[in-house]
Structure 1
Amino acid sequence: MIKLILGGARSGKSRYGEQLALQSKHRVNVLVTAQVYDQEMQQRVAAHRQQRPATWQTTETPFDLGNAITQHHQTGDCLLVDCLTLWVTNELLRFDIEHQGAQLSQHWQQQKQQLLDALALAKQQDQDKQVVGDIILVSNEVGMGIVPMGAINRRFVDETGWLHQSIATLADEVYWVVAGLPQRIK
């Protein structure tokens, strides 16, 4: 089963994703997409790790998320991806949008398609009972504010919004979390 959890910063979406992972009764593997570049991010990562059960596996996946999902999706496992927006950022920043726009577009479309293909395959395997497990994807909803300044910022908002729409189509369940309160929207 594929579940997508959307919400704003500090909305409680990661906590809700963790609750769903606990409820799944499967072994949990957290695919973390964050990269640590400074002390503040290091503290955020440490706080997330502390609140998770010690029995959960953590796999650092800042790039190539589709391949990681294909590799780690196994019977009896719950994959918790936290979070998609950091992964989108990582992939979009692999190229300079001003000087390498064509390479960026090609790279991003490839990465996005690999992710969508991995999710579609996982869903098909689940329906055919070949692999039974859960995939929970956590992401920030970033498209509800003003249009940001700067080409890369606008590209990020656009690509994230389109990615969410594609995943929501595939997902069995979609949740919106606000003020720590999850609302099922699909």
Structure 2
Amino acid sequence: MKNSALLFVGGVRSGKSGLAVRWAERQAQRRLFLATCKPQDAEMAERVAAHRAERGVGWQCVEETMNPQGVLRALAAARSDDGPGVLLLDCVSMWVANMLTAGLTRDVALDKVAALAAYLVAVGIPIALVSSETGLGLVAPTSLGRQFQNALGRANQMLAGACGTVIFVSCGLPVALKGALPEELC
């Protein structure tokens, strides 16, 4: 089966989520948004609300902060004509942060990322993943920050290897790092 999974990676506020939504909306009428963020404060709640407002009709949202690979596993097992035609997971970086702050080790977190990567093709529908690029910034000054950067950097590498297309986003502009830039983003 062809790997139609895309990884959108870029800095915070680079435009990666908006481009991923635009791509997904051109793939299918029924879309599943797999959200990994659990707002912890008012500012993050506003961010989540803004992201929701960007999405048009035709979106179903599932919030799963710790086990998005379980949602993919269930979709792969269910495969039905009335299910979603595309899935957008936003975002890998929040998911990794959730796992680390819950006390999971880097190795356990990366095992979960590997499990998600294994289901990218099995689901049988186009999938887009969104993640932040930590490799362009400063080394974090705290131990937890460095653990996060190291885990997310490795997770991004694993997912980039598993995806057929990898799109780097900067200033709202997409650049294909792997595969061809989808026509919907040109």
Query: What TM-score comes out, normalization by structure 2 length?
Result: 0.85
Q: Matched residues in 2 for 1:119 and 1:26: separation?
A: 25
Deviation of 1:59 after TM superposition, in Å, equals 0.4
The answer to whether 1:142 aligns with 2:134 is yes
Q: Is the 8 A contact 2:29 2:58 kept in 1?
A: no
The answer to whether 1:154 aligns with 2:146 is yes
**SS, match of residue 185 in structure 1:** strand
The number of equivalent residue pairs is: 170
Q: Matched residues in 2 for 1:118 and 1:147: separation?
A: 27
Q: Matched residues in 2 for 1:72 and 1:48: separation?
A: 24
Amino acid at match of 1:139: S
Amino acid at match of 1:77: G
Q: Which has the higher helix share?
A: 1
Q: Matched residues in 1 for 2:74 and 2:54: separation?
A: 26
Q: Matched residues in 2 for 1:48 and 1:118: separation?
A: 23
| Partner in structure 1 of residue 182 of structure 2 | none
Deviation of 1:28 after TM superposition, in Å, equals 0.8
| Partner in structure 1 of residue 72 of structure 2 | 69
| Partner in structure 2 of residue 173 of structure 1 | 165
| Partner in structure 1 of residue 117 of structure 2 | 119
Q: Is the 8 A contact 2:166 2:177 kept in 1?
A: yes
Q: Which runs of 5+ in 1 are unaligned?
A: 96-103, 126-130
Q: Which runs of 5+ in 2 are unaligned?
A: 179-186
Structure 1: 4+ residue segments shifted above 4 A:
none
Cα RMSD for the two superposed structures: 1.6
| Partner in structure 1 of residue 16 of structure 2 | 13
| Fraction of identical pairs, as percent | 32
Q: Matched residues in 2 for 1:94 and 1:175: separation?
A: 29
Query: What TM-score comes out, normalization by structure 1 length?
Result: 0.85
